[in-house]
């Protein structure tokens, strides 16, 4: 299975967490990384090229820091520009039908904080609903997300452990993820 990781971090060079995740998947033959902020520093997204890129993969992973309960602004713009009516959804919008989609986030808060009644009041799954709704509207299958909690407080050893889990998670079969 060919997997595309769409990395969207505005300052990836300064991110220990997102960098650790990306380092863990470097060199995996069927996994390809696409860094949106590196590709589009001027925010002028080449829509046709992005759409063509998506066609070559069975699974697309959106990796980003989770802040203000959402994705970074360039990824939101990418969704708006690339996933258009007539291509991704609506009449003749079947290009993403049956593709697998996954979200991989890094969060500064604790896992306990992302529970009903926790500091953030909602679970990660609840907070990711708008992205899930977008991707299922495009006739894709939304797979269980990967979340690295306490991303600003982990030790180097914990980063390595998380990164290994991430590499396994994004490559896992659908049945494995459902457990």
pTM equals 0.95
Share of the chain above pLDDT 90, in %: 76
pLDDT of residue 124: 87
Place of tokens 């060079």: 13
pLDDT of residue 112: 67
Q: Read off φ and ψ for residue 91, nearest 5 degrees.
A: -55, 130
Taking phi over 0 as left and psi of -120 to 50 as alpha, with beta for the rest, 164 belongs to alpha
Using alpha carbons, select from 57, 69, 128, 123 the residue that is nearest to residue 96: 57
pLDDT in tens, 14-36: 888 999 999 999 999 999 999 99
Q: Could you tell me which residues come within 8 angstroms of residue 46 by beta carbon, excluding any fewer than 6 positions away? A: 40
pLDDT of residue 118: 76
CATH numbers and ranges of domains, the chain: 3-177 (3.40.50.360)
- The answer to whether the CB of 152 falls within 8 A of the CB of 17 is yes
């Amino acid at each position: 299975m060919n997997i595309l990781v769409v990395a969207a971090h505005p300052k990836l060079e300064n991110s220990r967490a997102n960098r650790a995740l990306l380092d863990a998947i470097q060199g995996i033959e069927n996994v390809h990384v696409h860094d949106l902020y590196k590709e589009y520093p001027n925010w002028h997204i080449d829509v046709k090229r992005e759409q063509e890129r998506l066609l070559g993969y069975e699974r697309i992973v959106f990796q980003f820091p989770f802040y203000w309960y959402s994705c970074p602004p360039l990824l939101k713009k990418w969704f708006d520009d690339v996933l258009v009516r007539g291509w991704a959804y609506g009449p003749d919008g079947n290009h993403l039908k049956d593709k697998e989609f996954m979200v991989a986030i890094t969060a500064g808060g604790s896992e306990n904080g992302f529970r009903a009644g926790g500091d953030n009041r909602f679970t990660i799954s609840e907070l990711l609903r708008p992205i899930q709704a977008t991707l299922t509207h495009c006739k894709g299958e939304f797979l269980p997300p990967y979340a690295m909690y306490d991303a600003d407080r982990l030790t180097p050893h914990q980063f390595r452990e998380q990164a290994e889990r991430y590499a396994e998670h994004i490559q896992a079969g659908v049945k494995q993820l459902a457990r």
